[in-house]
């Protein structure tokens, strides 16, 4: 029987990313055919909503052609700076599940989820949790493919669109793969497609039946060998994490400014609770805690404190943040507040326990994280946050 985590690679692809980000700013665009792209005579489509795609509109298409295909099309000029900012938050979500995140673009990444086998029942549960976290925190749709290798995971996410989840078990991955059109494979362009057409190859299953020697004659030895491997579902590339994370942070900009240290400390307490969860899911512990305070005049200050030993426990992070709060002036309104963990190292290293820090806090933190991963973030939490009436709790 296959392991519940035999399919250990997730491919996450945000759906119509630029369009959906614009819809957050302009809700009136929901349900309407929209593209983000250049609106002039030489402009092209950068992103198309699924309503627009129903008319044959697609990315990289000339905008003029898209308008002819869809007369009611709404064209929104791109704001790449804003998309980059939102992308950073998307990748924060990815890295809150695993430190092994390989970004492919602003809105797409592979994630190695093998380290989550103790927190989730099976791989599909992780995919569901990733989609839920993105939706809850960012109000954006995402499609996730779960498989044993990169090739199958990416193809699975494509078949899951829009806003879906596709898990391909190891034992049925060839059945899934061979039913897809051959153009789905990496490396099949117009020239190789024409050569394969001459061989009567329409699906990946057709390709798998062609001897590699014949492929080599038609499209070259290197390309033929590569396609033969892919048609057999063979892809041994590991997820290569982006540059090692130097810090993990939680911050929020408030629509209603914070006033006074009491309100700020309640928010810091909430941030520390969320930050500890991210550290645990990433398998990391922090030696340095920082807080970030931005006032309404945009003046920003930071304060940092080094812990006695690395920790991923909310109580330890909160005690450090509370100490740092004593070094901050709280008489001016605050529009942004954040907590960051840095000097990261793998969790599980021996801790230097103080007299006032019994090991039971680590056990409690682990139990809380297990409950949250199984039943949801809101099912258990500190009493202080449960009782808080401010309504500012993020997500």
- Residue 352's pLDDT is what? 43
Q: Determine the Cα angle at 271 with ends 297 and 296, to 5°.
A: 5
How crowded is the C-beta side of 277, counted as CA atoms within 13 Å? Answer: 22
Q: For residue 365, give the 3-state DSSP assignment.
A: helix
∠ CA 339-344-347, nearest 5°, is: 110
**Catalytic annotation on 108?**
yes
Identify the pLDDT of residue 249: 81
Residue range 162-187, pLDDT digits in tens = 999 999 999 999 999 999 999 999 87
Contact 152, 173 (CB under 8 A): yes
- The ranges of the chain with pLDDT < 70 are 1-3, 40, 242-246, 255, 348-395
Residue 108, both tokens: 């797409």
Annotated catalytic residue, options 7, 92, 102, 108: 108
In this prediction the pTM is 0.63
Give the CA angle between residues 225, 226, 227 to the nearest 5°.
95
Query: What distances in angstroms separate CA 173 from CA 234, 251, 331, one per listed residue?
Result: 10, 41, 61
Tokens of 181: 């059109």
Report yes or no: 151 and 235 within 8 Å, Cβ to Cβ.
yes
Per residue in 313-322, pLDDT (tens digit) is 999 999 999 9
């Amino acid at each position: 029987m296959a392991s519940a985590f035999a399919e250990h690679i997730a491919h996450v692809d945000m759906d119509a990313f630029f369009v959906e980000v614009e819809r957050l700013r302009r809700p009136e665009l929901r349900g309407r055919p929209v593209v983000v792209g250049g609106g002039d005579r030489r402009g092209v489509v950068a992103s198309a909503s699924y309503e627009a795609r129903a008319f044959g509109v697609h990315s990289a298409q000339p905008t003029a052609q898209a308008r002819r295909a869809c007369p009611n099309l709404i064209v929104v000029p791109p704001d790449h700076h804003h998309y980059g900012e939102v992308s950073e938050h998307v990748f924060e979500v990815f890295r809150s599940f695993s430190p092994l995140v390989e970004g492919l673009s602003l809105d797409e990444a592979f994630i190695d989820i093998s380290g989550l086998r103790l927190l989730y029942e099976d791989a599909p549960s992780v995919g569901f949790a990733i989609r839920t976290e993105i939706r809850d925190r960012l109000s954006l749709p995402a499609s996730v493919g779960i498989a044993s290798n990169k090739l199958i995971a990416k193809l699975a996410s494509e078949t899951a669109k829009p806003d879906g989840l596709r898990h391909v078990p190891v034992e049925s991955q060839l059945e899934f793969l061979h039913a897809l059109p051959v153009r789905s494979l990496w490396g099949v362009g117009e020239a190789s497609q024409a050569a394969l057409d001459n061989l009567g190859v329409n699906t990946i299953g057709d390709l798998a039946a062609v001897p590699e020697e014949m492929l080599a004659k038609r499209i070259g030895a290197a390309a033929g060998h590569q396609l033969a491997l892919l048609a057999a579902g063979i892809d041994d590339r590991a997820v290569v994490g982006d540059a090692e994370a130097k810090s993990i942070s939680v911050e929020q900009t408030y629509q209603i400014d914070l006033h006074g240290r009491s309100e700020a400390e309640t928010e810091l307490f909430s941030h520390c609770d969320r930050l500890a969860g991210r550290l645990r899911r990433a398998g990391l512990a922090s030696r340095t805690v920082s807080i970030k305070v931005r006032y309404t005049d945009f003046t920003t200050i930071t304060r940092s404190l080094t812990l006695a030993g690395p920790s991923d426990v909310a109580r330890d992070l909160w005690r450090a943040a509370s100490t740092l709060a004593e070094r901050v002036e709280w008489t001016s309104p605050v529009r942004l507040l954040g907590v960051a963990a840095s000097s990261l190292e793998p969790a599980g290293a021996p801790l230097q326990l103080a007299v006032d820090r019994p090991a039971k806090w680590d056990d409690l933190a682990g139990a809380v994280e297990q409950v949250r991963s199984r039943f949801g973030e809101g099912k258990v939490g500190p009493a202080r946050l449960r009782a808080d009436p401010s309504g500012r709790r993020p997500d």
